[in-house]
Amino acid sequence: MSYKAFLSHSKVSKEDQEFYDLKNKAAEYYMSNGVPQKIENVLNEMFWQKPDDIYGHLANYFSKLSYTPVISKITGREVFDGTGLTAVKTQVYCIIRNEEKVVCSAVMSGPSDGLEADGVVESGEAFSNSNQQRLSITTALKWIREHLSPMLQGFNPTDQTNVDKLLSDFFMARYLEHKDSLNIEKEDELRIESVSEAPPQATPTPAPTKDKKGSDKGKKANSTEKPLPPAETPVPQLPGATAVGVVSLAVAKTAARLLGEPLYQHITSVRVPQAQSEMHLPVPMITILSCGKDSAGKLNLLEEVILMPSSSQRVREVIGMGLELQCEMTRVLNGSAYKAGPIGVSEEGALQVGFERPEQALDLVTEACANLALPLGSDLRLAINCAAHGLMDYSRGKYEVISGCHKSPDELVDMYEGLINKYPAITSLIDPFRKEDVDHWERLATVIGQSCFLIADAASNLCHRWSEAKPLPPGVTRVIIRHHSDMTISDLIQSIAEQKDSETMLAAGSGDTSVVDLAVGSGVSFLKLGGLRGGERMDKYNRLLAIEEKLEQEGILGAREKKQLLSDLSETLNSGSGCDSVTIST
């Protein structure tokens, strides 16, 4: 007789009946979820494999059967970045096997992103900028705590596209609210002004001056001079924008860790869903010398002298050449041939030397390369970051390229032409003018365009998603895109994809090594990491080196195509195809 039949013909206690029903429910629950079958399978499998760590084997087996982790909450707090500026650090928590765990974090600085609207911050604006930075960080933390964390709760962190769309939609709504509030404030101010204005009183007509001819002559003389184009009004940053970029980056890093893959591989899968048979590394651009406004000498023009290796050279080889060149330049400077100021280290991590003329700096690089037998002009080329947007003296309408020496835009064109003719290794100029000096960009492109790239950084005119895109200055063949604090990962990928040609660049600012993974995953061709000084920058170089070694081990490191940069440039200019390269920066 079965136990069930026995129960039907005998008296049992209430407790026994409840226990029997509970056992049936448990068996039904486990059977419906396939637990007995899975346990039997893993036990049989483990018996034949006989792993050393039995419970580790069981843990790995059942972890594959667990639910996909989802975001439970996102937290944010204020920290300081590598430059001492306040930044936002956010952490992503996920429910993993019924436990809430912090998976990954990301740090992003405030809205300045390493570039001021017009280069130099006036002393009177320092306090205002500090308050703006404080407001931006405070608002970002509030957005994360009150809006973004509840909004993303339950989301799969590997679904980057939908997460970024949610962040973008939220940010757009905040922007429209901010815009409406500004319009209301403006209308109120105009209404108050119209009420407070007194009726105008008649003023006597001034008597005609006696020196009318002289006055007309003065007006005629002034009309012959072309006025300096005024600086464009900078696009205001929406307070709290940092929340969008830092949360998007943190979610991407979380997804990569949960998937057990490097961040660059996850970014690649977001950009190109199909599996890639090979991957290409960006060519590192190394800042080797800085003779800008912060240097001790009179020279302001050479903000950065950048080493651009050929695409065939490996990362370790490029770093080795950069370190050797840095040491050799220091040795040469310690000799008596150069009357340079004190040697320091710039914010970009390069040697910072005070010179009187640009030829002195370029002669130093040329001599050091010759001493080391480095192929300057063939496999190694130079790019000059002029950062001209910070050199304009608006009272004179000229660029102060050397302290006390001002050059008009026309004179600056001639100066660039002379330098490139004397130093043919210079194949790129970054921001040779302000973005407003359109005519002189065009003239410079006509004069040297066949032998030199023109690259726009501060002059790129790249706008926010709600603004209308503006044309690049004439003759620009490469653009530096910066990973702004209000850009999601999807925004960054889209900005790169919108460019006409596949050859692209990325320039890194302060922050962790994530920018290197972003460069590799987004498929850019160049990566500007700064100089070879400072732990934060060397971490980025080491990360790029580690990725190269890993891709080599996996056999998927694609050989970079050797492109003849000058011939490509000539073809580009002749075809009028416009921009063919992008540099990205955080």
SS3 78: strand
Q: pLDDT class for 219, splitting at 50, 70, 90? A: very low
Q: List pLDDT tens digits, range 164-195.
A: 999 999 999 988 888 888 788 777 777 787 77
Average pLDDT over residues 420-442: 92
Q: What is the mean pLDDT of the chain?
A: 82
Task: Give the phi and the psi of residue 107 in degrees, each rounded to 5.
Answer: -125, 135
Which band of pLDDT confidence, cut at 50, 70 and 90, is reported for residue 391?
A: very high
pLDDT mean over 85-93: 93
Q: What is the pLDDT of residues 291-307, one digit of tens each?
A: 988 888 899 999 999 99
pLDDT given at position 16? 84
pLDDT at position 574 is: 42
pLDDT band with cut points at 50, 70 and 90 for residue 159: very high
The pLDDT of 30-52, averaged and rounded, is 88
Q: What is the rounded CA–CA span in Å between residue 388 and residue 287?
A: 17
Give the residue-averaged pLDDT of 91-105. Answer: 94
pLDDT at 214: 43
What pTM did the predictor assign? 0.82
Q: Which of 134-138, 476-480, 581-585 has the lowest mean pLDDT?
A: 581-585
Mean pLDDT in residue range 554-578: 53
Please give the angle made by the CA atoms of 360, 362 and 365, to the nearest 5 degrees: 110
Domains and CATH numbers, the chain: 14-63 (no CATH), 70-175+237-242 (3.30.390), 261-585 (3.20.20.120)
pLDDT at residue number 129: 66
More confidently predicted of 130 and 349? 349
With a pLDDT cut of 70, the percent of the chain lying above it is 80
DSSP 170-236: HHHHHHHHHHHHHHHHHHHHHHHHHHHPPPPPP-PPPPPPS-HHHHHHHHHHHHTSPPPPPPPPPPP
Considering only residues 203 and 358, tell me which one the structure prediction assigns the higher pLDDT.
358
- Express as a percent the part of the chain with pLDDT over 90: 42
Residue 97 pLDDT greater than 50, yes or no: yes
Return d(Cα 77, Cα 11) in angstroms, integer.
Answer: 66
Q: Which of 226-235, 247-256, 489-498 has the highest mean pLDDT?
A: 247-256
Kindly state the average pLDDT of the residues 366-391: 92
pLDDT at 586 over 60: no
pLDDT confidence of residue 582: 53
Strand order in the sheet with 398-402: 392-393, 398-402, 405-407
Question: Which pLDDT band, with edges at 50, 70 and 90, does 471 fall under?
Answer: confident
